[in-house]
Amino acid sequence: MNIPIIRHIFVIAGINCAIALSSCGRDVNSIADPHFDSDGAPLDTAVQLFTPGLPKSAKLYVETSGSMNGFFRANQANKFKKTVWSVFSGLALITDGNVYLMSNGGDIDAPVVLGTFRNKMNAGAFVSNSSTHIPAMLHNIIENIDTAKNEVALLVSDMKYSPMGKTASPELLQYQEQIRNIIGVHPSVSLSFVCANSEFLNLNGSVAEENSPYYFIIIGKSENVAATRNDIARWCEATNSYVESGDMAMNYHTPNYTIENVKNGMLSSEYPKNLITVFDREVSDTCSFIVRVDMTGYPWSAVDADILKDCFKAKAAYGSSVDVELLTDEDHLVDDHAYKGEFKRRSYADFLVKLYNVALDDEVVEWTFTNKPFDGRYLMDFNTIINADQENDLSGSFSFNKFIEGCFNARLNTFDEIPVRILVSSYQ
C-alpha cells in the first residue's frame, strides 16, 4: 500500500493581489494577521507606489543677470547654448510656446517666443548688468505654477546668489533661511536640480573657464519633477555637459517594485508582481526571492551600492529569520539611461530576501525603503563645486550649497513609513 507523503507548502502573497487557493482544511492566514483576510487577500491599501510621470505642462524660465553673461556671448558657440536649446525644444510640446526671462532682482519679464529666444540667445541679446535675487525668483516662479494640474516650472540659472546694496551682507547670511521659508509654505512643491557645465566666455570670445557649472531647477509635484529630471539629465548627457543631479523636498512614497527569481518555489503567473510561490520544507528550510526596486524615480547618483546597501530593511513579524543582501553585479544593479537605444531610462536595484527558521505555520515579512542615505550624497567633484568660496570662481557655484540646505531645512526627502507586507502561509 502506497502511503502519500504530506508536504508543507508556503504561499507568499504581496500587496494588491487577490489569492485563490485551496487551503486544505486551514486558513491561508491561520495566524489571523490583521493585514490579510483568511484566504490571504491583502486588506492593507495604504501603500502608495511611486512612479515618475511626465507633467501635463511646463513653464520655462531663464535668469539673465550679469553673472550669466559668459554663457550668452554674442555669436559664440558653447555647450550652454546647445544644451539649453536641446532641453527647451525637447519640452516645447508641453509649454505655452514662451520663455520667461528673469532679471531686475527676480521679477518675471515679458515672455519671449521660444524660437525668438533661441535667436536672441545666439546673438547675445541677454547679456545684462542686472543682479541675481534667487529667493525672489523662486517665490515668483512657485506662485505662477499649478502643481495640482501636473504643471512644472523649469529655471535655468547659475544659482549664484548676489544681493546688492547696503543690506547685501545680512541678506546673504540669511539666504538659507529665506529658501527654507519659501519652500516651507508650499507643501505640495518638490524640487530637483540637474547640474551641467559649459565654456564660460570672455568679452572677446576666449574661454575664461572650460567647465563652468549652471543648473536646471525643476519645481512641481514629486512624480512630475522626477520624470522631468530624468529627461533633462539625459539631454545633458547627450551634449556631454552632465555633472550631477539631486532632489529636495521630494515625497517618494514607496518605490515601485516586482518580485523576481523565487528559489525553492514557483512564481504565480496570475499574480507575477505580488507573488504566489510554493515552498517545500522537505527540499530546504529557506525560501528566497528578489525584491526588484524600481530606481527610475531617483537621481542617477542614488543608484550606488554604498548608498543602497543601507536603504532596504526587512523583518519578520512573528519571529522567523530574514536576511537581506543587495546584489551588486551588472545584472542586478542597473541604470541604463537610454534603454535599447531609446529615450527611456531603465533602472533598478535587486535585494535578495531569504526567509528561514519559520517559527509558526504562517509568517508576515515587512520591508521598507528609507530616504536618509539620499539626502546630500553627491559626487566628490560636485561637493567641491557647490562649496566655492568666491562668487567670481567660474569653476564653482557660490552659495548653491545654502540653497540645497535651505530646501532640506524646509522638508527632507521622505518615504512612506508603512511597510510592504508579504504573507507567508504554510498549508497542507
Q: How wide is the angle at C-alpha 333 spanned by C-alphas 330 and 339, nearest 5°?
A: 80
| Residues 205, 110 within the same domain | yes
Looking at the domain assignment, is residue 398 inside a domain? yes
Q: 198 and 314: one domain?
A: no
In this structure, is residue 32 part of a structural domain? Answer: yes
**Residue 5 has what DSSP assignment?**
P
How many other C-beta atoms can be found within 10 angstroms of the C-beta atom of residue 219? Answer: 27
Model pTM?
Answer: 0.89
Q: Which of 76, 343, 113, 64 is nearest to 198 (CA)?
A: 76
Domain carrying residue 380? 57-249+376-411
**Per-residue confidence (pLDDT) for residue 168, from 0 to 100:** 61
Contact 377, 46 (CB under 8 A): no
Q: What is the largest CA-CA distance in the chain?
A: 101
Which amino acid belongs to residue 393?
D
Q: Do residues 344 and 388 make contact, with C-beta atoms less than 8 angstroms apart?
A: no
- Looking at the fold, whether 131 and 157 belong to one and the same domain comes out as yes
Among candidate residues 306, 289, 293, the one with its CA nearest the CA of residue 422: 289
Give 359: exposed, middle or buried? Use CB within 10 Å, 0-12, 13-18, 19+. exposed
**Domain-located, residue 51:** no
Query: Which helix (H) or strand (E) segment is 397 a member of?
Result: none
**Cβ-contact 195, 184 below 8 angstroms:** no
What are the backbone angles phi and psi of residue 185, rounded to the nearest 5°?
A: -95, 5
Q: Tell me how far apart the alpha carbons of residues 292 and 305 are, in angstroms, rounded to a whole number.
A: 14
Look up cell 528578489; give the residue.
290
Note whether 226 and 117 are same-domain residues: yes
Specify the pLDDT at position 169.
Answer: 67
How many domains are there within the chain? Answer: 2
Residue 63 counted as domain residue: yes
d(CA 379, CA 299): 12
**Residue 81 domain-assigned (yes or no):** yes
Of 234, 233, 238, 197, nearest in space to 71 by CA: 197
Q: Residue 376, class by beta-carbon neighbours within 10 Å (0-12 exposed, 13-18 middle, 19+ buried)? A: middle
Amino acid 265: pLDDT: 67
Both 419 and 404 in one domain: the answer is no
In a domain, 235, yes or no: yes
Give the residue among 416, 382, 417, 418 at the shortest CA–CA distance from 401: 382
- pLDDT in the model for residue 2: 46
Ordered per-residue pLDDT tens for the chain, 428 residues: 444 443 444 444 554 433 333 334 577 788 888 988 887 778 877 889 999 999 999 999 999 988 999 999 999 999 999 999 999 999 999 999 999 999 767 778 889 999 999 999 999 999 887 777 899 999 999 999 999 999 999 999 999 987 655 556 677 778 999 999 999 999 999 999 999 999 999 999 999 999 999 999 999 999 999 999 999 999 999 999 999 999 999 999 999 999 888 877 666 444 334 344 456 667 778 888 899 999 999 999 999 998 898 899 999 999 999 999 999 999 999 999 988 888 889 999 999 999 999 888 788 999 999 866 566 667 778 989 999 988 889 999 999 999 999 999 999 999 998 999 888 777 54
Predicted local distance difference test score (pLDDT) of residue 1: 43
User: Which among 406, 371, 370 has a CA at the least distance from the CA of 386?
Assistant: 406
Residues 302 and 331 in one domain: yes
pLDDT, residue 298, reads 93
Tell which residue, 71, 70, 55, has the closest CA to residue 146. 55
384 and 422 together in one domain: no
Residues 221 and 84 in one domain: yes
Residues 29 and 106 in one domain: no
User: 145 and 63 in one domain?
Assistant: yes
Tell me the C-alpha distance between 167 and 219, whole Å. 28
| Identity of the amino acid at 169 | S
d(Cα 303, Cα 349) in Å, to the nearest integer?
A: 7
The verdict on 244 and 191 lying in the same domain is yes
190, 152 contact by CB (below 8 A): no
Q: How big is the CA angle at 159 (ends 132 and 189), to the nearest 5 degrees?
A: 105
Note whether 105 and 168 are within 8 A (CB).
Answer: no
240 phi-psi bin (left φ>0, alpha ψ -120 to 50, beta other): left
- Looking at the structure, tell me whether residues 351 and 326 fall in a common domain: yes
> Per the domain annotation, does 95 fall within a domain?
yes
From CA 112, how far away is CA 140, in angstroms rounded? 17
Distance from chain centroid for Cα 174: 28
The C-alpha angle with vertex 339 and arms to 336 and 341, in degrees rounded to 5, equals 125
pLDDT given at position 47: 86
Distance CA 314, CA 369 (A): 9
